[in-house]
Structure 1
Amino acid sequence: MLRNVEGIVLRSMDYGEGNKIISLFTSELGKVSVMARGAKKLKSRHAAATQVFTYADFVFYKQHGQMGSLNQADIIEAHHLLREDLNMSAYSAYLVEMTDRMHGDEEGSTYMFEQLKAGLQAIEDKKDMQIVVHLFEMKMLELAGYLPITDCCVSCGSASDLQSFSPGMGGVLCINCKFKDPFAALAAPGTLKLLKLFPRMDMRRLGAIQVKEETKVQLKTCMKAYMDHHIGIKWKSRGFIEQMEKYNI
């Protein structure tokens, strides 16, 4: 069957002498693998469209249970800058790695496709990359069914005097319940405000948000601990980001 869909390249792998296998994320078909014959050759008409982060209109032939074969690709957004800038590339890689590893094959989601598309564009538009990543992490947690409780105490239900964030208990804790998890991370009012806002925020409406450095440090601690506790995946791209931060790259 001939399919015509908009997609974003999550992975691009060399195959044989001149071919590539690309993993696409689409709104209609979800994640799908496609063979791009001859795409490794410099003069190939598919070379540019098979690069990671590329957003394009793909036409491919696919039979049930088999890998697709690329016929045509018209680039909508090449995202050259995301590949050329090391920091942008690292944060963008984390978005596509989350999408790739947390979606099953042919598991479609129009909403998540739009969130990924908007997230990559936000990074290219020089919006705060850390905030973009945390917002996308929250979308991934929602998809997996592990969205934290952030608008009231996960233990007693109180909406006042919230002070900490507990990955193990699944959300924020108030001053009276924080003793129930001695490993809960400190969360100041600014941090709690963003944790509460993220589940309701659409990436497509993300503006030029300004966040204090101490708030970003707390957010990173909370989100990293929560992702590790509930998802348990060793993210290669996140590890690279942490190495860059460690050596001030």
Structure 2
Amino acid sequence: MKSRSTNRSGIVMRRKVTPAGDIIVTLLTPQGKIKAVARGGVRGQQASRLNLFHHVGVQLYQTPQADLATVQQSILEGALPRLSEPERHPYAHLLSELADALFQEGEFSEQAFDLYAGSLRGVSRHPDPEWVALVMSYKLLALAGFAPRTRHCARCGAADPSHPDPLGGQLLCGACSNQPPHPPERLEFLREVPRRSVRALMDAPLMAEQRPAVWRSLERFVTVQIGSVQSWRSLVGGDVVGA
């Protein structure tokens, strides 16, 4: 008989407290994404363990009738306290919401877990958390198979496009766009980000004035290809993403 109890280790990427005092969490684990509920969690020790971005070990119990597994026990395996800092938290929240939208429940992907965990560590520790979030957002998209088209025009297929696509967040040729081309350094980043290593990208950051246009392209691409990601609003409010 198959056991209804399982042990998992993962990162809390989404957390919701219900009016009844339960905590519903979404964890990204090396075995895939899991959604579970800690009954009465806000009144017990699990309230502090099942916080957003915490790496936790959980014992889950699943019955055939229940939609969600129940968190029977949890232990804190790791935390990144600097992610609560105002200059870092919005980026960590964006990466979590994006990963939640990209990777499905039950989908096995140890690579997705490692990339997501690395992105949170980078935002927590790197002196330029914005650049980490920008690079890792593109890396998460590429892993999920959603890399933007940059070698050929997204409309007509012409080679080597260099103009922004304001509707789809990809690249257009001069004949399909009425906007000025991207400057060389920004264009190089957009073309090479899926192919270059994270280390190489970290060593060659874009200047601050180049980033808003890249954020706008990323937001548009994600909205069209994946769906609405609410975390963009906090970045817009902080003048990271243009209107």
Same fold (TM over 0.5): yes
Q: CA deviation at 1:67?
A: 1.4
Deviations 1:117-137 (A, max 9, x none): 111111100343332232233
Q: Note closer, same or farther for the CA distance 1:191–1:137 as it changes in structure 2 (3 Å cut).
A: same
Aligned match of 2:14: 11
**Unaligned ranges ≥5, structure 2:** none
Taking the aligned partners of 1:46 and 1:218, their CA distance within structure 2 comes to: 41
Taking the aligned partners of 1:207 and 1:137, their CA distance within structure 2 comes to: 13
Question: Aligned to 1:236, which of 193, 215, 230?
Answer: 230
1:115 and 1:203 in contact (8 A); partners too: no
Aligned match of 2:27: 24
Question: Aligned to 1:245, which of 226, 232, 239?
Answer: 239
**Unaligned ranges ≥5, structure 1:** none
Q: Note closer, same or farther for the CA distance 1:4–1:206 as it changes in structure 2 (3 Å cut).
A: farther
Q: Note closer, same or farther for the CA distance 1:218–1:228 as it changes in structure 2 (3 Å cut).
A: same
Within-5 A mapping of 1:131-150: 131-142=131-142, 145-150=145-150
Residue 100, structure 1, aligned to residue 100, structure 2: yes
Aligned match of 2:90: 90
Q: CA deviation at 1:205?
A: 7.5
Counterpart AA for 2:239: E
Aligned match of 1:53: 53
Q: CA deviation at 1:151?
A: 4.2
Q: Note closer, same or farther for the CA distance 1:34–1:178 as it changes in structure 2 (3 Å cut).
A: same
Q: With structure 1 as the length reference, what TM-score do the two structures score?
A: 0.79
Taking the aligned partners of 1:127 and 1:198, their CA distance within structure 2 comes to: 20
Q: Note closer, same or farther for the CA distance 1:222–1:12 as it changes in structure 2 (3 Å cut).
A: closer
2:164 and 2:171 in contact (8 A); partners too: yes
2:37 and 2:68 in contact (8 A); partners too: yes
Report percent identity of matched pairs: 23
1:186 and 1:218 in contact (8 A); partners too: no
1:119 and 1:203 in contact (8 A); partners too: no
Taking the aligned partners of 1:105 and 1:49, their CA distance within structure 2 comes to: 22
Count residues with an aligned counterpart: 234
Counterpart AA for 2:45: R
2:8 and 2:57 in contact (8 A); partners too: yes
